[in-house]
Structure 1
Amino acid sequence: MSNLSQGLVQIYTGNGKGKTTAAFGLALRAVGHGFRVFIIQFMKGNDGYGELDGIKRLSPECQLEHYGGAGWVHKGENLEENIVEAKKAFSRAQEIVFSGNWDIVILDEILNAIWFELIPESEVMELLTKKPSHVELILTGRNASEDMIEKADLVTEMVDKKHPYDKGIMSRQGIEF
């Protein structure tokens, strides 16, 4: 079913804005070329993200599911709800990657889920190793480890040079969320 003859592993990481935006831009481009894209968002349990409704306009070729507990996660203070949600998301990701139904799978914020110790990096590394050769796998989030960077075929680091937050401009609907 796949249109891809060779699927790679991409990582969008760093402290700068644009990791999810880059991955979603790729999804839009891919759907325009007839590819099927599945997006799983980790650590985004609260509603209000514009992409949740926007992706519906690309359905059925592009699907999105989001997982996460309420509120922010703090390192070392992982609420059981966040761990359970991250494990559900990762289990679903494995199912999607191996289903044979999707050309591109985007695991949005999975690198953060690893960093916050919600899911083990070793399990994600295993997924990267065992993924079908025709599936493009895209991981986003801050704090990509050196092992993850080494395993990926493409790594882009978003660097924060200047940001509106520095001037007190808060997140804007439709732009940052």
Structure 2
Amino acid sequence: MSNLSEFLNQLTVSISVYIGMLILWFLVTQFPVYRWRLFFARKGQITSLQQHEMYSCFITVVCFFLIWVVVDSLEFYLLTLDFGLNSKIKTFYLVLMAINTINVVIVFLIHKLSECIFSGSTRACLYMLLVSISVSFMQLIARGYYDYHELKVLYKAVTWVSNLVSVFAMSLYPIRQTLAYFNKEKEA
């Protein structure tokens, strides 16, 4: 395995742990305030714009964490299938597209069912998911059907940039709230 692959594997684990820590931040800071409404907010219970932003970010972080864990474990399984290389490539990118599409649909449906407004962070994450879906589709066509592997590095770079932008966007709300808390404590 190359140094880049090892680095990307370590980065994957680090991002999974970091997103898990974002969920923990929500549980530690928001669960005492909202209790079980944090998980099961219904229409009419989300009253202010700040609550919409908090719920939207929480929904996004949880969905991304679950999908990230599923993709991470499914990736190894898909690569060990007893198919020909071309069939593995097609299956891998098709499943990756499907899982990312499911993530978009789940985030969208949960927002609509709870009548929660999409926060800027959530929109950025959804846009980055669309980029990832597009890149997976291009890889499916280029690598799976035309056996063209020359743009593999570009695809990998775009996918990682979109993942990192998503993680950064998910981090904005917790960072802003934590800084506001410390500024409030400093003034008091």
- Taking structure 1 as the reference length, the TM-score comes to 0.35
Q: Which structure's relative contact order is higher, taking Cα pairs within 8 Å and 6+ residues apart?
A: 1
Q: Determine which structure has the larger helix proportion and give its number.
A: 2
- Taking structure 2 as the reference length, the TM-score comes to 0.34
Q: Determine which structure has the larger strand proportion and give its number.
A: 1
